[in-house]
Chains A and B, each alone.
Chain A
Amino acid sequence: MTKAWRLGLFGVAAAVLAGWWAAACVGLPGFGGQVHPYGERAVGASLERHTANVIASVNFDQRAFDTLGEESILFASVLGATMLLRVARDERRQRPLAARVMPSTRLFGAVLLPVTLLTGAYVVAHGQLSPGGGFQGGVVLATGLHLAYIAADYRVLERVRPLTVLDVADAAAAAAFTVLGLVGLVAGASYLSNTLPLGTFGELASGGLVPIINAAVGIEVASGVIVLLARFLDQAVEVGGGPGDGGSRTAGKEDGG
């Protein structure tokens, strides 16, 4: 197929799809309505379970099974990336070079790194109370750690990033979610039932199983994203295709992977 044919075919077909999509959107309920059937029920169920953040209640209680699938997707992505980005037979690993960084950048990173990590931990820990939660806080934690790379160099990042520990933490947190589901079965209810004491509405230990699953997801996302990024960064910074590929070690720093 020539480029013109491909674009032409795609253009015509995409126009048909867009037309139907627009026609379908006309049939949607209007903006700014006062009621939504699922919204009403979800808020009610969330209050019933003493969970202040309705989103967390939907994610970790009402539709926790979806979330189990989603965190398994992340877990599978980490495993898949580990497998695909392994060092191939014709590649070799090189020690990354130390990089020179402006002192102000280094100072800024050193100050902000703990602040960012604290923010991430806060967002995870208050997932059941305020906007945020395990997924969001986990990403903040994981990306915050990479300040070490930006403000220092790859060697420093490797020191603050114990990959084996994080890899096991990722798996252990994924396992924790699966096993926490069994708590409901042990209590005589169904899988992933929120049978723990619900606590007082609005307090840190409220919502029963919600904060615990939320924390497990936070740990899984934080460690999973760090490991995932590490596989890609390693490819960019450390792994070369053999002799004659000397540029990759320094290129990694400028490109940021």
Chain B
Amino acid sequence: MPSTVDLPPLAVAVPLFGAVVLAVAGRWLPRLGCDVLAGLWAAADVALLAWLWGATGDGRTVSWVGGWVPRAGHSVGVVLVADRIGSGIALLAALMVLAAVGYAWRYFEEPSGGHAGVFPALLLLFEAGMVGFALTGDLFDAFVFFELMGVVAYALTGYRIEDPRPLHGALAFGVLNSLAAYVTLLGIGLLYARTGELGFAQIGAALDASGKGADALVVCAFVFVLAGPLVKAALVPFHFWLPDAHAVAPSPVCMLLSGVMVELGVYGVARIYWTVFAGPGGIPADAVRPSLLALAVLTSLVGAVMCWQQRHIKRLLAFSTVAHVGLFTAGVAVLEPAALGGTAVYVAAHAGAKGALFALTGVLLDRFGSVDEAGLHGRGRELPVVGALFTVGAVALAGLPPFGTGLGKGLAEESAKSYAPWLPWLFTLVSAVTAAAVLRVALRVWWGAGSASHGHAGDPETSGGGEEPEVRAPRRTLPVVLVAVPALLLAGCLAVGVVPGVAEAFDQAARVFCDRPGYVAAALDPGTAPPVPPGPAPDWWSAGAVLSGLLSTALAVAGAAVAVWAPGRVSARARAAARRCHLAVRPLRGLHTGLIGDYVAWLTVGLAGLLVAVGALR
């Protein structure tokens, strides 16, 4: 029976071992055997991480791998530090992998890459990467698991090799993320050269002790180290790879990419800032807050506008993820524990809603070989249950109470408005626009509402028609799991909002997360960290949260209704105004060229901008 401190490394080792077993056993086991084995393995890791979450409580589980506990405050080893935010997002990753394994069970008709074990083995490796990244307390170790996560994700994105588009999406994803990872490694090198340390807590403590403050090296290291997580989080202008990759990856993989991997980028930014740079030897909060907030606002607005413009349903959902990641980053950027706790609730619930929407879009691809909103007009009528779930997913995305998205959004807004009174309006507007776009799809595809033609002839756009179905048996009956998995994910999204205690748990977890002295003490000098006193319990479903959720939903419904029904009924003047709006955002759409060279240029511009901003504000 392992003790609690052994759980973090085991939670990484178990999926790694499972991947190996599947890679070997898949040569002989039939398809069903592989899927059952993968499901059991994913469930085992969920159990381990749930145990870790329970056992960690409001403290931290500190695990020195290899037993290299610090002597006199120094160690040569790797430390894993699980607090509730870290183990929580690891648990979320494990749950999403379990959902993806379940969904993929009947999704792909044919074995992939030689035998049936390869795809689930890659999913488990992906899980190991995500869990390792979430639990580690060491900067270099985080880089290693970040790379593991990336390598698997590139391969999974390019899964459908018959079509050049997935390969192109995977290539853009791989090139952008790898370049950013190299920049991160340069940053790690800077910090290591100055401090001789690699652990988060150790680097942070050494920077504080050096007394040099935020000099050029620290600023440069801060921006460079964050390059990898920022690209993974797909913040504008680092986001270009995301829609290209999400539009073409197999649907079960999209559930993981959008549901949890992108959010892990935001988690990485928050973790690295609080543990390494939040002290007197790091970057002043007054430099970090506006820089991150500017990125967050830009990201959520660009994501929302681009989301509204799409007709390729998976691209639309991908841009909605960009928009929401902008909101999550805003929740982190105000640097308030309460906003962080609300954001954690938001992320957990969003994973359920977004995972479900991608899974349901996968059903469209399975049935019709298309994810084109216009081309599928009215064709969804034969799938009423799928349509109902899709609509539920759309209002969950808007934050309709009592879905967890609404609770998380409300909590984050309440706290964030003390810093910037206009932030709640951003949250409301962005969640309303993205949900309106999804509702518009639901109305057109399942209810056949409005006209079948789509907007503006002659624009260059990605239609989403002529996609290869991801299976080769077009008229099989619809497997139950393809509907059951999204239904369960939506139930999870609802549960986050209705189960009492979730909000309090995350609120206290966020307070622990932001307790930098406690983190450093727990990692370097175990037993001396005083527990974080519980603060005032957050207002569970405050009137403001309920109203804001209702407002977002009402705006989303109105927006979708106008988009679907208005074009035939409004005056020529209103049409001309709509046309002008459309033309105004055309340059923005034009920036999404699909050319990797352009994306790299934007990545460089983003990093340079961040350097100048943080450098000027420090």
Minimum C-beta distance from A187 to chain B (A): 10
- Chain B residues with Cβ below 8 Å from A168 are 24, 27
Asked if residues A6 and B611 are in contact (CB atoms below 8 Å), the reply is: no
> Which of B14-22, B298-306, B342-350 lies at the interface?
B14-22
Asked whether A181 is an interface residue with its Cβ less than 8 Å from the other chain, the reply is yes
- Chain A residues with Cβ below 8 Å from B125 are 72, 75-76, 79
- Chain A residues with Cβ below 8 Å from B605 are 9-10, 12-13
B77: contacting residue among A6, A12, A62, A77, CB under 8 A: A62
Asked if residues B597 and A6 are in contact (CB atoms below 8 Å), the reply is: yes
Asked if residues A20 and B219 are in contact (CB atoms below 8 Å), the reply is: yes
Task: Report A186-198 CB contacts with B as 1/0, cut-off 8 Å.
Answer: 0001111110000
Asked if residues A17 and B611 are in contact (CB atoms below 8 Å), the reply is: yes
Asked whether B567 is an interface residue with its Cβ less than 8 Å from the other chain, the reply is no
- Chain B residues with Cβ below 8 Å from A1 are 591, 593, 595, 598, 601
Bound Cα distance A39, B608 (Å): 33
Bound Cα distance A58, B67 (Å): 14
For residues 1 through 38 of chain A, which have their beta carbon under 8 Å from a beta carbon of chain B? Answer: 1, 6-7, 9-10, 12-14, 16-17, 20-21, 23-29, 36-38
Bound Cα distance A25, B193 (Å): 10
Bound Cα distance A39, B112 (Å): 46
Q: Answer whether A69 and B66 are a contact pair too, CB < 8 Å, given A1-B598, A23-B216, A83-B122.
A: no
Asked if residues B216 and A20 are in contact (CB atoms below 8 Å), the reply is: yes
Asked if residues A13 and B607 are in contact (CB atoms below 8 Å), the reply is: yes
Q: Answer whether A58 and B197 are a contact pair too, CB < 8 Å, given A21-B186, A66-B141, A72-B128.
A: no
Asked whether B154 is an interface residue with its Cβ less than 8 Å from the other chain, the reply is yes
Bound Cα distance A37, B191 (Å): 13
Asked whether A115 is an interface residue with its Cβ less than 8 Å from the other chain, the reply is no
For residues 1 through 58 of chain B, which have their beta carbon under 8 Å from a beta carbon of chain A? Answer: 2, 5-6, 9-10, 12-13, 16-17, 19-21, 23-24, 27
Bound Cα distance A6, B112 (Å): 38
> Which of B145-153, B310-318, B404-412, B539-547 lies at the interface?
B145-153
B interface residue count range (under 10 / 10 to 19 / 20 to 34 / 35 or more)? 35 or more
Q: How would you classify the secondary structure of chain B's contact residues: helix, strand, loop or mixed?
A: helix
B112: contacting residue among A37, A58, A86, A174, CB under 8 A: A86
Asked if residues A190 and B19 are in contact (CB atoms below 8 Å), the reply is: no
Asked if residues B601 and A16 are in contact (CB atoms below 8 Å), the reply is: no
For residues 129 through 183 of chain B, which have their beta carbon under 8 Å from a beta carbon of chain A? Answer: 129, 132, 138, 140-141, 144-145, 147-148, 151-152, 154-156, 158-159, 161-162, 167
Asked whether A73 is an interface residue with its Cβ less than 8 Å from the other chain, the reply is yes
For residues 200 through 233 of chain B, which have their beta carbon under 8 Å from a beta carbon of chain A? Answer: 212, 215-217, 219-221, 223
Bound Cα distance A41, B598 (Å): 45
- Chain A residues with Cβ below 8 Å from B23 are 75, 79, 167, 171
- Chain B residues with Cβ below 8 Å from A242 are none
Asked if residues B151 and A76 are in contact (CB atoms below 8 Å), the reply is: yes
Asked whether B63 is an interface residue with its Cβ less than 8 Å from the other chain, the reply is yes
- Chain B residues with Cβ below 8 Å from A39 are 196
Asked if residues B158 and A10 are in contact (CB atoms below 8 Å), the reply is: no
- Chain A residues with Cβ below 8 Å from B21 are 175
Minimum C-beta distance from A94 to chain B (A): 18
> Which of B113-121, B278-286, B492-500, B518-526 lies at the interface?
B113-121
- Chain B residues with Cβ below 8 Å from A88 are 161-162
- Chain B residues with Cβ below 8 Å from A41 are 74-76
Asked whether B65 is an interface residue with its Cβ less than 8 Å from the other chain, the reply is yes
B78: contacting residue among A65, A89, A193, CB under 8 A: A65
Question: How many A residues face the partner with a CB closer than 8 A?
Answer: 70
Asked if residues A185 and B144 are in contact (CB atoms below 8 Å), the reply is: no
- Chain B residues with Cβ below 8 Å from A233 are none
Asked if residues A82 and B128 are in contact (CB atoms below 8 Å), the reply is: no
Bound Cα distance A46, B369 (Å): 59
Asked whether A153 is an interface residue with its Cβ less than 8 Å from the other chain, the reply is no
Minimum C-beta distance from A183 to chain B (A): 11
By beta carbon, the residue of chain B nearest A41 is: B76
Asked whether B586 is an interface residue with its Cβ less than 8 Å from the other chain, the reply is no
Asked if residues A28 and B20 are in contact (CB atoms below 8 Å), the reply is: no
Bound Cα distance A84, B152 (Å): 11
Asked if residues A17 and B598 are in contact (CB atoms below 8 Å), the reply is: no
- Chain A residues with Cβ below 8 Å from B145 are 69
Asked if residues B196 and A36 are in contact (CB atoms below 8 Å), the reply is: yes
From B2, B5, B13, B74, name the one whose CB has the most chain A CB atoms within 10 angstroms. Answer: B13
B155: contacting residue among A27, A42, A79, A89, CB under 8 A: A79
- Chain B residues with Cβ below 8 Å from A164 are 27
Q: Answer whether A65 and B20 are a contact pair too, CB < 8 Å, given A80-B122, A181-B9.
A: no
Which A residues form the contact surface with B (CB < 8 A)? Answer: 1, 6-7, 9-10, 12-14, 16-17, 20-21, 23-29, 36-39, 41-42, 45, 58, 61-66, 68-70, 72-73, 75-77, 79-84, 86, 88-90, 164, 167-168, 171-172, 174-175, 178-179, 181-182, 184-185, 189-194
12 intermolecular pairs with C-beta atoms under 8 Å apart: A1-B591, A17-B608, A17-B611, A65-B66, A66-B78, A66-B140, A68-B12, A69-B132, A72-B19, A83-B113, A181-B13, A190-B5
